[in-house]
Amino acid sequence: MSGFGALLARDLRLVWRRPGDVMVVLAFFVVATVLFPLGIGPESNLLARIAAGILWCAALFAALLSLDRLFAADHEDGALDLLLLAPWPLELAALAKCLAHWIVTGLPLAALAPLMGVAFGLSGEGLGALCLTLLVGTPTLSLVGGLAAALTLGARRGGALLALLALPLCVPTLIFGAGAVEAVAMGEGFATHLAILGALALMALATLPWAIAAALRQAGE
């Protein structure tokens, strides 16, 4: 387990040394969401109705934006070989990398989204639902994106391929995440949505670290 903690701490420290990479992702999220009201026009009813979908999609794109560096950096400087040769399971290393990604993107996105939601005229309850569903849903995005990043390691145009692989797999999370906020707007509870998002995250957690590790071993050969 100490290797897991060491890798997590290393990745967080690397982000801390170069905060620009995370700032770009968060700035992309803000700019992308602001574009929609500009394009659609200031019709507050319409904006409030589609806010959840827009914010969730923007969060998904923002998370993907930073994923192509997740394993590529280690692949390029040779650190991936050292992870492959570490005397503890590579599955834990995959999990540590995805957890680090979630901490520096999923977590701030979940905190930032309600602020953007205010601009869209979401209700207080809707803002709460948005923040909670992002908290529960973004780990799935980090894990699914991690798999796509591992599979596209070393591929030319890996970034575009990564998005193509990861986006379809993120559809269930997107549907239930945005659906929860809409359910709140309709005056219904969103406990079911949250439970399904949690189930999706747990399913990803129980399977994807093994798939990512297998893809990394393949890339190392």
Partner 1 sequence: MTPVLLEAAGLSCRRAGRLVFDGLSFGLAGGELLALTGRNGSGKTTLLRALALLAPTAAGRILWQGEDVGHDRESWRRRIAWLGHLDGLKGDLGVRENLAVAARLRDEPSDRIDGALAAFELGPLARREVRTLSAGQRRRVALARVASSHAPLWLLDEPLNALDAPSQGALGGVLARHLAAGGLAIAATHAPIEVAGARALELGR
**Would you count residue 24 as binding partner 1 (CB under 8 A)?**
no
Smallest separation, CB 204 to partner 1 (Å): 25
The whole-angstrom separation of Cα 217 and Cα 214 is 5
The nearer residue to partner 1, 93 or 184, going by C-beta atoms, is 93
Using CB under 8 A, which of 38, 85, 186, 206 touches partner 1?
A: 85
Smallest separation, CB 67 to partner 1 (Å): 19
The amino acid that residue 87 corresponds to is: P
Smallest separation, CB 44 to partner 1 (Å): 45
Smallest separation, CB 149 to partner 1 (Å): 18
**Would you count residue 42 as binding partner 1 (CB under 8 A)?**
no
**Would you count residue 210 as binding partner 1 (CB under 8 A)?**
no
The amino acid that residue 202 corresponds to is: L
Smallest separation, CB 170 to partner 1 (Å): 29
Radius of gyration for the alpha carbons in the chain, expressed in angstroms and rounded: 18
**Would you count residue 3 as binding partner 1 (CB under 8 A)?**
yes
The whole-angstrom separation of Cα 13 and Cα 218 is 27
Smallest separation, CB 212 to partner 1 (Å): 17
Residue with tokens 């979630």: 102
**Would you count residue 23 as binding partner 1 (CB under 8 A)?**
no
Residue with tokens 């399913």: 203
What letter does residue 122 receive in the DSSP assignment?
Answer: -
The nearer residue to partner 1, 12 or 30, going by C-beta atoms, is 12
> What torsion, rounded to 10 degrees, do the Cα atoms 41, 42, 48, 54 define?
40
Q: Length of the chain in residues, anyone?
A: 221
The nearer residue to partner 1, 82 or 160, going by C-beta atoms, is 82
**Would you count residue 87 as binding partner 1 (CB under 8 A)?**
yes
**Would you count residue 82 as binding partner 1 (CB under 8 A)?**
yes
**Would you count residue 22 as binding partner 1 (CB under 8 A)?**
no
What letter does residue 123 receive in the DSSP assignment?
Answer: -
**Would you count residue 20 as binding partner 1 (CB under 8 A)?**
no
How far lies 115's CA from each of 80, 161, 175, in Å?
38, 31, 21
The nearer residue to partner 1, 117 or 158, going by C-beta atoms, is 158
φ, ψ for residue 162, nearest 5 deg: -60, -50
How far lies 132's CA from each of 41, 69, 205, in Å?
28, 27, 18
Contacts with partner 1, residue ranges (CB under 8 A): 2-3, 6-7, 10, 13-14, 17-18, 76-79, 81-89, 220-221
